[in-house]
Amino acid sequence: MEMIGKAAKESGVSVKMIRHYESLGLLKGVPRTASNYRVYGENEVHTLRFIKRARNLGFSIEDIRALLSLWQDKRRPSAAVKKIAGAHMAALEQRIAEMQSMLTTLRHLSHSCHGDQRPDCPILDDLARPH
Amino acid sequence: MEMIGKAAKESGVSVKMIRHYESLGLLKGVPRTASNYRVYGENEVHTLRFIKRARNLGFSIEDIRALLSLWQDKRRPSAAVKKIAGAHMAALEQRIAEMQSMLTTLRHLSHSCHGDQRPDCPILDDLARPH
DNA sequence: ATGGACCTTCCCACCATGGGAGAGTCAAGC
DNA sequence: GCTTGACTCTCCCATGGTGGGAAGGTCCAT
Q: What is the 3-state secondary structure (H, E, C) of A1-52?
A: CECHHHHHHHHCCCHHHHHHHHHCCCCCCCCECCCCCECECHHHHHHHHHHH
Task: Enter the pTM of the model.
Answer: 0.91
Residue A12: what residue type? G
Confidence of residue B1 (pLDDT cuts 50, 70, 90): confident
* CA distances in angstroms from B78 to A105, A126, B20, B67, B84, listed in the order given: 17, 13, 29, 11, 10
Helix (H, G, I), strand (E, B) or coil at B2: strand
B52 pLDDT more than 90? yes
Confidence of residue B64 (pLDDT cuts 50, 70, 90): very high
Please give the Cα distance from B23 to B64 (Å, whole number): 14
Rounded to the nearest integer, the mean pLDDT of chain B is 95
What local confidence, expressed as pLDDT, does residue A129 receive?
86
Please give the Cα distance from B43 to A130 (Å, whole number): 11
Q: Which residues face B40 on adjacent strands?
A: B2
> pLDDT tens per residue, chain A (131 residues)?
799 999 999 999 999 999 999 999 999 989 999 999 999 999 999 999 999 999 999 999 999 999 999 999 999 999 999 999 999 999 999 999 999 999 999 999 999 999 899 999 999 999 998 76
Confidence of residue B131 (pLDDT cuts 50, 70, 90): low
In chain B, which residues have their Cβ closer than 8 Å to the Cβ of A42? none
Closest CA of chain B from A26, distance in Å = 15
What local confidence, expressed as pLDDT, does residue A88 receive?
97
Taking CA A18 as the corner, what is the angle to CA A12 and CA A22, rounded to the nearest 5 degrees? 145
Confidence of residue B129 (pLDDT cuts 50, 70, 90): confident
Strand D nucleotides within a 7 Å radius of protein CB atoms? 7-10, 16-20, 25-27
Please give the Cα distance from B57 to B1 (Å, whole number): 31
Q: How many CA atoms lie within 13 A of B80 on its CB side?
A: 17
What local confidence, expressed as pLDDT, does residue A29 receive?
86
Which residue would you say has higher pLDDT here, A1 or B3?
B3
What local confidence, expressed as pLDDT, does residue A50 receive?
97
Residue B89: what residue type? M
What local confidence, expressed as pLDDT, does residue A131 receive?
66
In chain B, which residues have their Cβ closer than 8 Å to the Cβ of A118? 77-78
Q: Kindly report the backbone phi and psi dihedral angles of residue B61, in degrees, each rounded to the nearest multiple of 5, phi listed first.
A: -60, -40
Q: How many CA atoms lie within 13 A of A16 on its CB side?
A: 0
Q: Give percent of chain B with pLDDT exceeding 70.
A: 98
Please give the Cα distance from A33 to B59 (Å, whole number): 48
Of A70, A92, A110, the CB nearest to B124: A70
Please give the Cα distance from B127 to B131 (Å, whole number): 10
* CA distances in angstroms from A78 to A6, A73, A75, A96, B55, listed in the order given: 33, 11, 9, 27, 40
Please give the Cα distance from A27 to A17 (Å, whole number): 11
In chain B, which residues have their Cβ closer than 8 Å to the Cβ of A119? 73-78
